[in-house]
Chain A
Amino acid sequence: MATISFSLDDRYNAFITTLAEADTGPGPLSGIPIAVKDNISTRGIPTTCASRILEGYVPPYDAHVVTLLKNAGAAIVGKTNMDEFGMGTTTENSAFGPTKNPADPTRVPGGSSGGSAAAVASGMVRMALGTDTGGSIRCPAAFCGIVGHKPTYGRVSRYGLVAYANSLEQIGPMARSVADISLLMKVLAGHDPRDSTSVNCPYSHIPDPDVSGLKIGVPEEFFGEGVDPRVASVVWDAISLLERKGAALITCRMPSMAYALAAYYVTCTSEAGSNLARFDGVRYGPPADTKLPWHEAFQQRRRDGFGTEVKRRIMLGTFVLSSGYYGKYYAKAQVARRQVREDFERLFSTVDVIAGPTMPTVAFRFGEKTDPLSMYLSDILTVPANLAGIPAISVPCGTSEGLPVGLQIMGPQFADERVIDVAAAFEQGSGR
């Protein structure tokens, strides 16, 4: 076991915690500095989820993915900034201040894995781990101009990930090249009995950039209302490049897109309301006042510990699950979620992958999105993959107004290899 020294000029506020020295060992990731999003537990290293409610918390165990990274020889050099508990699209909702986008420091890096994206895009680390509940790997990858992959649900263990919305979220790789995404997937994927949703489906693949004969579905809805025409045009050029390399394009429809965003936000807030009940100042984080009565103590602790967006989502989740409203919101959201899944199943019976933009616009300016609903709406193109549990990758495909644009490739469940191949084909064809 050797150690590597790591000193950095964190001018983008990408990190919450950095380590001056990190252990590294033999293995496929030997000597490679890797950053880990701060909602993934690291034994002996503070893990805050960018929340004041976890200030001072030092996990007594490693997340399964962290154990895997260490076994592969990686040097974990720091914990990255994020939207508090993963709730946001800009990394502005962090108790540690926003992260800046290395492509344009007057703009957000996207979120919620904005710190990981900025750390990779600026060259501070070669790779990073992010988490993706509704686009939180792909959005910052697109905004910062790097590659980010959300694996098939169940392919990577969530053991040790601080839960926000269990049925939607996955840990995944972020890097500057598709080859590095593939290298990291090889280390991360596989069965872990400590995650009851873990599937025994290891990854041992070398990207094959041959797309001849591949059928690419292009849903109209991914180029519809709300998508900046300049972004759409850059993405169309990218898809045309794949066509010139031998792929066939098939335009299609995804009617469930009309309900996908509402279904997503009802589901994730419901799960958040329940998951975040554990933060009460008893077992970790700044203490609750044990002299006060129960509810008073918890309310005081949670008022001081949670940011506005987290409070809003906990309240929304509590409301949509409450007696009398469950049928109107949660039950219908699950019907809509099923329809999203069925739409994908129908499309994947005739096409191999689906392509579209990752985000409807380029990176926002700081403070540009002031109301939560318009922020939520910007997740419309990324949430369908989480609702269906399918793999989705974002690969840089050019610029609009000088800012990075991401091409999103989605595939059937467990076809992570296929979406990575298509991303590799685009990357190679674009000469990046």
Chain B
Amino acid sequence: MVSERDVQHIAELADIGIDKEELEEFTGRINEILTYFDILDKVPLGEPKKADLVNIFREDVVESSLHHDEVLANTHAAEDGFFRAPRVM
């Protein structure tokens, strides 16, 4: 079970801003779902088998891609050919 404080913490980790008034509702619903997930405790023990997958690589050669202008076309904050992001420090 998670508490409202836990949910607040998860929301911060995920950068999901949630309002104080929503906290109780989110916590209740998430707990209902997590309680349902407890059924996984009954899964017969076993290691997930390693899938026989191989990484697919290609030669490191330049291929055609989007033009600069197209990449920046959807941002509201382009500056000197870059995206402007919120400050980190």
Contacts and interface: CB of A to CB of B under 8 A. Distances in A.
A295 B43 contact: no
A376 B30 CA distance: 13
Interface residues of B, number: 49
A326 interface: no
A283 B14 contact: no
A193 B44 CA distance: 38
Given A287-B76, A373-B33, A334 B70 contact: no
B16 A311 contact: yes
Interface string B30-44: 101110110111111
A335 B47 contact: yes
Contacts of B12: 295, 299
Contacts of A331: 48
A291 B87 CA distance: 7
Contacts of B10: 315, 318-319, 322
What is the interface residue range for chain A against chain B?
Answer: 35 or more
B17 A300 contact: yes
B4 to A, nearest CB: 12
B35 to A, nearest CB: 9
Interface in B1-36: 2, 6-7, 10-19, 22, 26, 29-30, 32-34, 36
A373 B36 contact: yes
Interface in A268-294: 273, 277, 280, 282-294
A302 interface: yes
Contacts of B45: 335
B81 interface: no
Given A335-B46, A338-B49, A315 B14 contact: yes
B85 interface: yes
Nearest to A303: B17
B33 to A, nearest CB: 6
Nearest to B35: A373
Interface stretch (A53-61, A173-181, A349-357, A413-421): A53-61
Interface stretch (A96-104, A243-251, A257-265): A257-265
A329 B34 CA distance: 9
B14 A273 contact: yes
Contacts of A299: 12, 15-17
Given A283-B75, A288-B86, A336 B16 contact: no
Nearest to B84: A290
Contact of A314 (B14, B43, B58, B87): B14
B60 to A, nearest CB: 15
Contact of B73 (A60, A259, A296, A332): A60
B62 interface: no
B16 A314 contact: yes
B63 to A, nearest CB: 10
A259 to B, nearest CB: 5
Interface string B45-89: 111110000001010000000100011011111000001111110
Contacts of A293: 86-88
B43 A339 contact: yes
Contact of A297 (B42, B48, B86): B86
B87 A262 contact: no
B30 A284 contact: no
20 contacts: A60-B70, A259-B40, A262-B39, A284-B75, A286-B76, A288-B85, A288-B86, A294-B85, A299-B16, A302-B17, A311-B16, A311-B26, A319-B30, A322-B13, A328-B41, A329-B40, A336-B43, A338-B46, A371-B29, A376-B36
The 5 closest A-B pairs by CB, nearest first: A303-B17, A299-B17, A297-B86, A287-B76, A60-B70
